[in-house]
Chains A and B, each alone.
Chain A
Amino acid sequence: MKKLSFLSAAVLCSAISGSFFITSAQAQESYTVGVEASFPPWAYVEGGEFKGIAIDAMDAIADEAGFEIEFQDMPFPSLIPALAAEKIDILATGLTVTEERSQNIDFTIPWWETNDVVLVPEDSDLNVFTAVCCGARVGVQGGSSQQAWMEENIVNSSDIDVELAKYDNYVTAVDDMAIGRISSVIVDDTSAQEYINAGRPVKMAGKIYIRAPLALAVSKGDPQEILGDLNQGILSIYEAGIWGEIIEEYIPGVTPPAIPGHMPGFVDTYQKPVAGLPELGNE
């Protein structure tokens, strides 16, 4: 008995110490890529494997640039703090470029552009105006760009009476709408199309054209000096057609926006010369 408990204690100890300390003797060219793996089609887990546009594209970029990557899943609200604290090296998910975020992290060139849609139940007769007014409860993901946009343009700056319900992720928001706790969900058009393709009883009541760029991100100041590699990688998988194939696989029928897309002036890494692509950038 004593032997057994000693043995199990030894097993436990080694199991703990194995994952407790991050080996400092890590190979130079290996990076931890933080993803929010409950955000299809960008990143999710199916049958125990990471899948999604950001996952496949990141793999292709790493191949191109010749470095190793390892994915680390984290809930979305923890990802940007983790990148800012350098717990992860790269953030790859459907990450929207915003001015506030650009003060804490550095963005690669945009690789996608989204607009937001107002999602309502299939049998609803709400339209884009009636869905977002008159005391409605509207669902968003906490910490998302949709929440920021709604707060900036509706909740804090107009007389429109809307209450935001913030969720951990969009799937629970859509579920809550099915129960009737909220009347609509503001979500990006890529995800919205996913829910409709998956046969969920929802429809788009209307679109909000915000032309939000999506990009990868690294810690502020690019301490690993990988921003250039990532920028070149994004452009080269786009030009080689790999990007198009990945998009076709996950969101069939959608034409990907051209890369590089619109680069907002408020992002400092979009000033000329852009890392790795010196001919690009805002003057």
Chain B
Amino acid sequence: MNIYDVLIRDFPFLLKGLGVAIVLLAALLLIGFVLGMAICLIQLYGPKSRLVQWPLKAYERIFRGIPIIIMLFIFYYGISGVWDISAFGAAILAMGLRSAAYQSQIFRSAFQSVPAGQMMAARAMGMSKLSAIRHIMFPQAARHAIGPWTNEFSSEIKETSLAYVIGVVELTRQAHYIITSTQGNVLTVFAVVALLYFILNRAGNSLLYAFERKLAVPGFEK
């Protein structure tokens, strides 16, 4: 059986691996979004007390400063003493928490790009801090954030390929299976896998670009 026949036969398994990568991606981006937004809002509008701000800063620096492969091992083996977490769960948690650190900074710069005078004006009109954030700042900041957020999306897609080190059978691992069971063909198999990642990346990016154009703040269009 030549490698092309094997690739055709095993293509469904590559797609299955791609599916695992997509679920991992969606879950980690979701955790990152929720937690990242919370961190950003507290950093900008929360209490200025060091007791609140310092741990957030430490969290963000630690997760942005440690390679994800080490985080994966720490979460998979480290937590297992306390909680019997699966490899997939550990990957979602490690990568989601790290994404939160990155996303918090994306959101922070987006909020900061909205002129501060708007916040003051909203407060002067008698709006509470929370409703000013919700109705004035957030709708504008969210639109500014889509562009930089695309970068986070693209880099996280590629990083899902690292989850195989703790035993998550995603696209890269499925490719390994084909390579080792056919005793070679590294280039051919990885070329196909690269194409799959590329398609996913472009599809996601086009969608986000379309979103960005549609929601652009008047006066800020490209």
Question: How many Å from the CB of B87 to the closest CB on chain A?
Answer: 8
A40 touches B180 (CB 8 A): yes
CB-CB under 8 A from B92, the residues of chain A are 16, 20
| One of A44, A72, A78 near B180 (C-beta < 8 A) | A44
Interface residues of B in 1-52 (CB under 8 A from A): 9-10, 12-13, 16, 23, 26-27, 30
Interface residues of A in 185-215 (CB under 8 A from B): 194-195, 198, 200
Given the contacts A12-B23, A47-B9, A171-B184, A24 and B84 also touching, CB distance less than 8 Å: yes
Using CB atoms, name the residue of chain B closest to A45: B177
Interface of B is mostly: helix
B9 touches A175 (CB 8 A): no
Q: CB of A85 within 8 A of chain B? A: yes
CB-CB under 8 A from A169, the residues of chain B are 176, 180
Q: CB of B89 within 8 A of chain A? A: yes
| One of A47, A75, A87 near B77 (C-beta < 8 A) | A87
Question: How many Å from the CB of B186 to the closest CB on chain A?
Answer: 5
Q: CB of B76 within 8 A of chain A? A: yes
CB-CB under 8 A from B13, the residues of chain A are 47-48
B103-111, B145-153, B163-171: which lies at the interface: B163-171
Q: CB of A31 within 8 A of chain B? A: no
By size class, the interface of chain B is 35 or more
A20 touches B89 (CB 8 A): yes
Q: CB of B86 within 8 A of chain A? A: yes
B183 touches A194 (CB 8 A): yes
Question: How many Å from the CB of B208 to the closest CB on chain A?
Answer: 16
Q: CB of B142 within 8 A of chain A? A: no
A16 touches B181 (CB 8 A): no
B183 touches A195 (CB 8 A): yes
Q: CB of B179 within 8 A of chain A? A: yes
CB-CB under 8 A from B179, the residues of chain A are 38, 171-172
A21 touches B86 (CB 8 A): yes
A21 touches B167 (CB 8 A): no
- Distance in angstroms between the alpha carbons of A194 and B184 in the assembled complex: 12
Interface residues of B in 96-121 (CB under 8 A from A): none
Using CB atoms, name the residue of chain A closest to B24: A16
CB-CB under 8 A from B80, the residues of chain A are 85-87
| One of A72, A75, A86 near B165 (C-beta < 8 A) | A75
- Distance in angstroms between the alpha carbons of A108 and B167 in the assembled complex: 24
A46 touches B181 (CB 8 A): yes
B181 touches A22 (CB 8 A): no
Given the contacts A19-B89, A21-B89, A171-B183, A73 and B76 also touching, CB distance less than 8 Å: no
Q: A20-B88, A37-B180 are in contact. List 6 more A-B contacts (CB 8 A).
A: A12-B27, A22-B86, A38-B176, A46-B181, A75-B164, A78-B73
The interface of chain A, by Cβ under 8 A from chain B, is 12, 15-16, 19-22, 24, 34, 37-40, 44-48, 51, 72-75, 78, 81-82, 85-87, 169, 171-172, 174-175, 194-195, 198, 200
27 A-B contact pairs sorted by A residue (CB < 8 Å)? A12-B23, A12-B26, A12-B30, A19-B89, A20-B86, A22-B84, A37-B180, A38-B179, A44-B181, A45-B177, A45-B181, A46-B181, A48-B10, A73-B173, A78-B165, A78-B166, A81-B73, A85-B77, A87-B77, A171-B183, A171-B186, A172-B186, A174-B183, A194-B183, A195-B183, A198-B182, A200-B183
The interface of chain B, by Cβ under 8 A from chain A, is 9-10, 12-13, 16, 23, 26-27, 30, 73, 76-77, 80-81, 84-89, 92, 164-167, 169, 173, 176-177, 179-184, 186
